[in-house]
Amino acid sequence: MDRYIELPALHLKDGSKTSEDVPLIVEEPLEIRISGLPYAVLMRTPGHEMELAAGFCLTEGIVDSFAEILSMGFCPDETGELKNIVQVIVKDAPQEDERRPGPRALTSRSSCGLCGVRMLEDLDRRLSRLDGGPQIKADDLVRMQYDMLKMQDLFRTTRGGAHAVALAAAGGEIIVVREDLGRHNAMDKVIGHAMMNDIDCRRCVALISGRISFEMVQKAVRAGIAVVAAISAATSLAVNLAERMGCTLVGRLRDRDMVIYTHPSRILP
């Protein structure tokens, strides 16, 4: 499936206008079914759907580990195509009880992974405070931002149309980068990659291309990622949650300039 397409557009610059084909990031729905029942529809960029589904199941609280996922695969839609419906079979199908959240009532928009959650209380569900975790040198965070940018092929092709999340070792070596039109999808993809490849997120650092919102901290804490850095700033709810959950937040990472919002002991000068 294509991750971008080219469409004709009119380009105005410095008083001149030209017609050109503009690369656009693809936005398509992905329905996730849990053990036969529809659970959510995500607006995402095609690619790495199994990672996205696995990471989504963990960060949603549907499973606690990859071992609870018995199988994953595409299901045919009404036209017979195998691209926009993923079925995840889990040991215990999600129920509307104290352990698992109920199915989302609405489609999750590309800008927000929380739009369809039924109850506000679900936002803080099943999170445990992060103790320990890696320490990382500030210089390694500086290097990571440039290493991640080199790996953002879709960002360059679409001229800034894609977000990215990198998962890295404590020494700053990037393990995986995933791009998507939604930051929350990119986060779920790297978490899913870690789950499917037996990578311990508790030893890792996450770097986000955009801002740090509540949902990004929620997903990181759920996966056990204790250090989250971003090129842009953090929101008030994100900082509040990170403080309570023992997560280190670093924002406004530009060149050698950064702001450490919470739990600074994990960042070595």
* Known active-site residue 201: no
Tokens of 235: 């929101």
Residue 153 main-chain phi, psi, to 5 deg: -65, -40
d(CA 193, CA 180): 14
Query: Which of 167, 163, 164 has its CA nearest to residue 176?
Result: 167
Tokens of 88: 């995840």
Residue 97 main-chain phi, psi, to 5 deg: -130, -165
Q: Treating both helix axes as pointing N-terminal to C-terminal, what angle do 214-223 and 49-59 enclose, rounded to 10 degrees?
A: 90
Alpha carbon distance, N-terminus to C-terminus of the chain: 44
Active-site residue (options: 112, 115, 204, 247): 112
Instruction: Give SS3 for 204.
Output: strand
d(CA 250, CA 138): 10
Q: Residues with catalytic annotation?
A: 112
